[in-house]
Amino acid sequence: MGLFNRGAVPKTVDKAAINSIIGQGLNIVGDLSFSGKLKLDGTIKGNVKGEYIVIGKTGVVTGDVNIETCICQGKVYGNINSKDLTVVKGCRIEGNVETVNLAVESGASLIGEVKVDDKDLRLIETGFSPEEQLQKKAGNA
């Protein structure tokens, strides 16, 4: 897993800490603003603004996301502005991303421009150097 990160970005969330759940099969048309932690397994067609969101594997947002912390396992078709953003394997984001802390798992899809506050930006070690990763892909390792 390759990560770009300035600090610790959560990969999972304590389910007990989630305030609200938008379940699979629930579709919301319109903007959504919330406080606390939200788990999204349904669909939102509109802009999302809040503190902490976990977009589950079946979750879809078609609109812009302006959030403090976002863990994305599903799909976002719009721009994301987030202080902490974790993009999990299987996630698809089609839009521009602006963040301070970014973590991207191998197998995630980001289509758009990515802007990360570049102060102290560094690559988190994965156990393999870029050269070793290329050799492994080529079957030479």
With a CB cutoff of 8 Å and minimum separation 6, the contacts of 66 are: 47, 48, 49, 81, 82
Res 137 pLDDT > 90: no
Residue 46: HSE in the Cβ half-sphere, 13 Å Cα cutoff: 11
Bigger pLDDT: 23 vs 116? 23
Mean pLDDT of the 72-79 span: 97
Res 12 pLDDT > 80: no
| Pick from 18, 54, 58, 12: nearest CA to 36 | 18
Q: What is the pTM of this model?
A: 0.74
Mean pLDDT of the 86-97 span: 94
* Digit-coded pLDDT (tens) for 16-53: 478 889 999 999 999 999 999 999 999 999 999 999 99
CA dihedral 88, 91, 97, 102 (to 10 degrees): 10
Distances in Å between the Cα of 102 and the Cα atoms of 5, 8, 14, 86, 115 are 5, 10, 20, 6, 10
